[in-house]
Amino acid sequence: MCYYQGKECTDRYLTYTILVYIIKGRGAVFMKDFLNKKNIILLCVVFLLLGIYIFLLLFFNNPNGNKGKYLYVGNYLIWEYKNNEFVQLNEVSDKISEADFVVYDGTKKKYASYAQYVNNNWNFLGEGYSDLNIKDYRIAYTGFKNIDLANYKLKGYDVSDDEYISLINNTKNESEFNSFRNSLIKTDVDIDGDEKSETLYTMSSYALSITNYKITSYVFVVDDGKVSIIAKSEGMEPFNIVEILDLDDDGVNEIVIVKGRLNMPSLDDCYQIYEFASGKYQMKQDCVR
Ligand SMILES: [Ca+2]
Ligand SMILES: [Ca+2]
């Protein structure tokens, strides 16, 4: 009869004993090899980096967790930002309504924790559904670090604009020229980031003749007398300024333009974003849809 450490050596007992011996023996050798000074430092560095990564993920990457990035422009535009571009939404889920929103009228930012859409208006509420008393706002956003609004005031035509209308569109048709004058909207704002205002214009030729069914529309800038055309459209939908704001938080304003009918905002319209980059005005995103 075989005995090992006072126990009968069944096959099962022997196998178990041998396995424990191998694991213990190898484990001790492994720990002895591993726990030298170099590896301990390496281990500490790995844990430290992991800790920093989790901290950054929790507190800086996205203050709303994984709820996404949303921007409301006025009461009718709902944009989601994903894959480096804006996408227009028809509706938002309840999940987003419960996100933390920054609501901004251009002078003061307010912080809402709930948004509800009632009678074609967004209603923003604070903690415990308290009324934030927000009467007017220009944008509301969630998930973005910061979006700033440009302060500007829209103005109409004055006689000094004739020079620029002639430069942009040298029409001999008096009614067309008058149409440009009557539709002209302008504002002084800094859009090239040099901290000095230039003048941003939109104008359209609404006067239609039997032979010309298209509306010619322009977005242009006059900076120290220098005229730059940002966009020209020949169709039935004139350009209008929707908002001027710093969407990507780089300190330089972008312009949101709609190719659509004024005072009739529609989700079918084409919203375009323009910016001044690499020394010139250019389109940042065509039709946000
Ligand atoms: Ca400027
Ligand atoms: Ca910008």
Ligand nearest to the CA of 189: 1
Ligand nearest to the CA of 148: 2
Residues 239, 185: Cα–Cα separation, whole Å:
10
Q: Which two tokens stand for residue 31?
A: 């720990």
11, 97, 143 from 81: Cα distances, Å: 66, 16, 9
Q: What is the pLDDT of residue 34?
A: 66
Distance 186 CA to ligand 1 centre (A): 15
Residue 22, pLDDT above cutoff 60: yes
Sign of CA dihedral 148, 116, 285, 270: negative
* pLDDT 10s digits, 164-174: 999 999 999 99
User: How far is Cα of residue 61 from the mean position of the Cα atoms in its chain?
Assistant: 14
Distance 244 CA to ligand 2 centre (A): 10
* pLDDT 10s digits, 171-212: 999 999 999 999 999 999 999 999 999 999 999 998 766 676
Nearest residue to 81 via CA among 39, 143, 19: 143
Distance 249 CA to ligand 2 centre (A): 5
Distance 251 CA to ligand 2 centre (A): 6
Ligand nearest to the CA of 251: 2
Residues 199, 282: Cα–Cα separation, whole Å:
16
Distance 240 CA to ligand 2 centre (A): 20
Q: Which range, 3-12, 38-47, 54-63, 136-145, has the best average confidence (pLDDT)? A: 136-145
Under DSSP, is residue 18 helix (H, G, I), strand (E, B) or coil?
A: helix
**Across 54-77, average pLDDT:** 75
Q: What is the pLDDT of residue 5?
A: 65
For 113, what's the count of Cα atoms within 13 Å in the CB-facing half-sphere? Answer: 6
Residue 90, pLDDT above cutoff 70: yes
